[in-house]
Amino acid sequence: MKKYLLVLMVFLYLLTACKKTEFEPEGPTDVRVRNMQTEEIFTNVVINTAGVRDTTGNIKKLGTINPGNVSDYQRVNIAFSKAEIIAEIDGELFTTGTVNSTYMDYKGRMRITYEVYISNMTNRTLMIHNVIPEEALVLK
């Protein structure tokens, strides 16, 4: 009987001592885009940070981005290391293509910059060169 009581006490102790692991929240994330081109102006830039997931609050218009410059930050609900970016260049639409973010890790509460360049002028393809984590996002 004492053995059962001891086992029960140890079991209860272990059960109450276990804590749920705290995960970083998915977002929000502040995102911006850097135009890495030396001559092309990106106009009517639109970013979709959620890919094929629910897009509520994740599609933002960034406006015009001159060569070598960055857009203003826009707050999205969730962001990943890849995003769909669409820009108009000389009247033609360029895009990174749609992104399937199903198995991607989210960036969390941060400010990030997507560095974008034209990878193929003929096919009107943009490419994300790098995603730069700028700083932690402090919510008030």
How far apart are alpha carbons 13 and 139 in whole angstroms? 36
Q: Where in the chain are the domains?
A: 25-136
The answer to whether 87 and 47 are in contact (CB under 8 A) is: no
**CATH superfamily of domain region 25-136:** Domain of unknown function DUF5300 (2.60.40.2890)
Percent of the chain with pLDDT over 70: 89
Mean pLDDT, residues 47-63 taken together = 81
Residue 20 has pLDDT above 60, yes or no: no
Candidates 114, 128, 31, 26; CA nearest to 78 is 26
C-alpha to C-alpha distances, 48 to 43, 75, 101, nearest whole angstrom = 16, 11, 11
The pLDDT assigned to 132 comes to 92
The pLDDT assigned to 15 comes to 66
The answer to whether 73 and 31 are in contact (CB under 8 A) is: yes
Candidates 29, 37, 103, 107; CA nearest to 73 is 29
The pLDDT assigned to 23 comes to 61
